Structure 1
Amino acid sequence: MGFDEEWAQLRANAVDRMAAAPAAVDTVEAGPATATRERAVARLADFRSSISLIPLDERGSLWTAQLGGLDWICAFSGEEALARFAEARGEGGQEWPFLRIAGTGSVNRTV
């Protein structure tokens, strides 16, 4: 199974799990939901302060992939991760132009 197929399967499984879960109730109480929200905020802060590599497509635009009806921007934490992606696509021998961008910049460019 290639990268694209594996990623699609993982995302589909996550969507199925979310659909099967009971609806979340937002409460003020500290608990698992609050802890999860705090972890998500911390991860977003880490992302905003990190550098990501975003490959460019043949038009010079940000490389995106459609999954679950959404367009996802492909971003990588370093050159090794980007190289693994290229290898998984069978395009490891090619030169891949990319942007090196701070997480804040990628969020601001897309939102």
Structure 2
Amino acid sequence: MSLADEVAAAHAGHPNPAALVGEFRRTSVLVPVVNDSLMSAELTGIRWLYAFSDEQELARFAVSRGAGPATELPYVRAVGARLLDVVIPAIEGPAGVVLDSGSEQGMVFPPVSGIVPDSVAVDLAEPDEAGDRPGVPAAGGAA
């Protein structure tokens, strides 16, 4: 199945996580660029890179953020594997990818083992002196 098919299956309640991640890794996505940096946002201590499945999804996102329909948001093309295996480890602190942000078919690829390299997976990180794992909310904390 294609990435779009795997995302649709997950949203329909029939996820195949390994196939979903595999298709993301093989698929070329669009990553918006702002001020010579890949567009991202931070939420709950995790840096999320934005990626889009096609120009229509990217344009919809730009309009939702207040850009006019004729305004183009510059982007680069990257294969999902390159984002997960090269870009994510180069970011200081935990980072993941959100695909088609704000879309009904949006999907997140969090910084956990099986998605990102083990060296940057938050579920494999060594606890700090307080017993907390970097980038993971403490037990009882807001997620």
- Whether TM exceeds 0.5 here: the answer is yes
Task: Read off the aligned partner of 1:110 and give its amino acid letter.
Answer: I
- How far apart, CA to CA, are the structure 1 residues paired with 2:57 and 2:44? 23
- Alignment deviations for residues 23-57 of structure 1 (CA, whole Å, 9 cap, x no partner): xxxxxxxxxxxx96xx2111100101111100011
Task: Tell which deviates more after alignment, 82-91 or 100-109.
Answer: 100-109
Which structure shows the bigger proportion of residues in helix conformation? 1
CA contact (8 A) 2:39 2:50 kept: yes
- How far apart, CA to CA, are the structure 1 residues paired with 2:47 and 2:76? 18
- How far apart, CA to CA, are the structure 2 residues paired with 1:101 and 1:48? 10
Which structure shows the bigger proportion of residues in strand conformation? 2
Q: Which has the larger radius of gyration?
A: 1
TM-score norm. by structure 2 comes to 0.48
Query: Where in structure 2 are the equivalents of 1:92-107 lying within 5 Å?
Result: 92=68, 93-107=70-84
TM-score norm. by structure 1 comes to 0.60
The equivalent of 1:44 in structure 2 is 21
RMSD: 1.7
Q: Percent identity?
A: 36
The equivalent of 1:110 in structure 2 is 88
Q: Tell me how many residue pairs correspond in the alignment.
A: 74
Structure 2: gaps spanning 5 or more residues: 1-13, 90-143
- How far apart, CA to CA, are the structure 1 residues paired with 2:66 and 2:44? 24
